[in-house]
Amino acid sequence: MLSDVDVDELRHALGGVVLESAYMERVLRTAFSALVGSKYAAVVDGRLAASALIEHCEHITKYHTDVPAQAKAAVHAALEACRDANRERNRVIHDTWATRPGNVVVTLPGARESHDVTVTVRTLAEVTQLADQVAHAADALKAAMTEALGSGPMLLEDQLRQELGHDITSDPGS
């Protein structure tokens, strides 16, 4: 039943989450390459989901000897914000949607490990706020990484793509 929810507004709100999530993933790939310190990290990061990129960036940051302790704390805080935003993004994008009266939508999580049903009520404004949360998390990570390593390493991720003249795909035949 979509009578109480403006479908165009819902599409716009969800589209905002998707666009900002793509931006966050791009920043995560850039951070990963910068932390690894090689343009060839782009070969690996293109195969990693956002959650794996976050986890790997956290682990590398923990042991990175060129990043001062204060900068490590800022990077870890930004990665935690990315983790939280990505978790919420996954719920909004992957859960099953249903609309209810009162201009709200409910989602039913698709969890393989549980048969429990949890209903989450969201307004369109909350979905729009999630897009902002994702964007702010990405911006915070970009700023923290630039502060930690400078702007040069943040350009490594694109270097191999520019040299090859195309994106690196996850297809082993490319």
pLDDT tens figures, 8-64: 888 899 999 999 999 999 999 999 999 999 999 988 988 899 999 999 999 999 999
Positive/negative CA dihedral, 34, 149, 51, 88: negative
Asked if residue 117 belongs to a domain, the reply is no
Separation of alpha carbons 68 and 57, rounded Å: 15
Q: What's the domain count of the chain?
A: 1
Q: Where are the beta strands (DSSP E) in the chain?
A: 96-100, 104-108, 120-123
Asked if residue 105 belongs to a domain, the reply is no
Q: Would you say residue 172 has pLDDT above 80?
A: no
Using a cut of 0.95, tell me whether the model's pTM lies above it: no
Asked if residue 110 belongs to a domain, the reply is no
pLDDT tens figures, 62-109: 999 999 999 999 999 999 999 999 999 998 887 666 555 555 565 656
Separation of alpha carbons 100 and 121, rounded Å: 9
Separation of alpha carbons 68 and 86, rounded Å: 26
Asked if residue 108 belongs to a domain, the reply is no
Asked if residue 103 belongs to a domain, the reply is no
Asked if residue 170 belongs to a domain, the reply is no
Q: Under 8 Å CB-to-CB from 118, ≥6 apart: which residues?
A: 108, 109
Asked if residue 102 belongs to a domain, the reply is no
What is the edge-to-edge ordering of all strands in the sheet holding 104-108? Answer: 96-100, 104-108, 120-123
- Average pLDDT of span 145-168: 88
Domain with 85 in it: 7-94+125-164
pLDDT band at 1 (very low <50, low <70, confident <90, very high): very low
pLDDT at 151: 92
Asked if residue 21 belongs to a domain, the reply is yes
Say how many Å lie between the first and final Cα of the chain, rounded.
Answer: 45
Q: 86: closest CA among 46, 142, 133?
A: 133
